[in-house]
Structure 1
Amino acid sequence: MDSIQHSKPPTCPPTDETASPRGFRICRSPSSIANDGLRNTTTCNTTMSDVKCPCGSGLPLKRCCGPFLDGTAYPDSAETLMRSRFTAFTRGNLPYLRKTWDPNTCPELTPDDLQTQWTRLEVLRSTQAADKAIVEFRAWYRDNGTEQAMHEISLFKLHKKRWVYVAPLQG
C-alpha cells in the first residue's frame, strides 16, 4: 500500500528501523485519512522501539509484532499470528494480511478495507492442535467517537508449515 507523504520536511532523527526512503521514521495516524481513502503519513520523534505494540502484549512493537510485519520472522503459534494480524490491521499492512490468510478463503483486500480505527485487542482464549487452532478474541474499534467491540472465534490452520487465518467459525 502506498502512502501519501506530507509536504513539510521530516523532523525526526534518522533510524535504521522501518525508515522511509529518506531515512526517517514514518508514523501512520489513523485520524489522518485522505479524501481518497489512503492513509496519510506524518513524521514524529519516536522510533519503533518506543512504540507499544497494538496487539496488547505490553511489549515494544520492535520486540513483538514488528519483526512479523517487516518479514524478518513468522509467528510460531496461531495466537501470535492473530495478534500480529491485528497489528497489521492497525498499521494498514495489506501485504502481511494477504500473506497470513489462507489462500482458499482470502478475499480481495483493498485499502478501503482498512479504514476502521482499531483501538485494542483482547484475546479471550486460544487452543491449538498440531495443524489447527482456534482463537477467540474481542477487537475494539472507534466508530463515530464511540468504542465498539467485534467478537470473533477464528479458525487457523497450518499451510506450508506456517499458521494462516482461515475464517471465523459460526457461533
Structure 2
Amino acid sequence: MRVGLYPGTFDPVTHGHIDIIRRACSLVDRLVIGVAINRDKSPLFSLEARVAMVESECVPLGRDIGCEIVVHPFENLLIHCAHDVGAGVIIRGLRAVADFEYEFQMVGMNRSMDNAIETVFLMADAKNQAIASKLVKEIARLGGDVSKFVTPAVNQALMDRFARKGA
C-alpha cells in the first residue's frame, strides 16, 4: 500500500488544500493528513477544531474518489510523523517560487534524516494560487467574504469564530 503524508496546520482548511488532497489521492492508496500542532503560529482554531474540519471536508472526498484519507494530529518532526504513519512519500503543495525556496531546504533536511522517504511537490491550481490560510483569516476577521476560498462549513466556522471574538 502506498501511503502519503500531507502535513500542514490547516488553520483553516481551504479550497487550495482540498485541491492538493484530491490530486494527492491519485498518487497514493492512503493519504494521511497531518495536522500540525505548531505553537509558533498561534492558530485561530484549536487542534480539535482543525482536525474536525479536515475530517468533515476530506474523509468523504476520499471515499468518493477511492482513496483512504486519515487525519492525524502531530507535534513531532515531520520525518518522525512519516515514520509513525508508515508514509513513504511526503506531499507538499506549492503556490509560488517563494514556497519552493523554503520547501527545498526542508527536503534537504528531511532527506538527511531519512533518504528513503520521498517528497512530491504539487503545484496549486492557478485558481488557488493566491489562497493562503493566513490571508483567509485576515479577510474574515475584517468582515470580508471568504466564501470563494473555503467550503460553506469552514466559512461558517470562521464567521462564528470572529463573531465570538468581537472582531
TM-score in terms of structure 1 length: 0.24
Larger radius of gyration: 1
In terms of fraction of residues, the more helix-rich structure is 2
In terms of fraction of residues, the more strand-rich structure is 1
- Structure with the greater relative contact order (CA < 8 A, sep ≥ 6): 1 or 2? 2
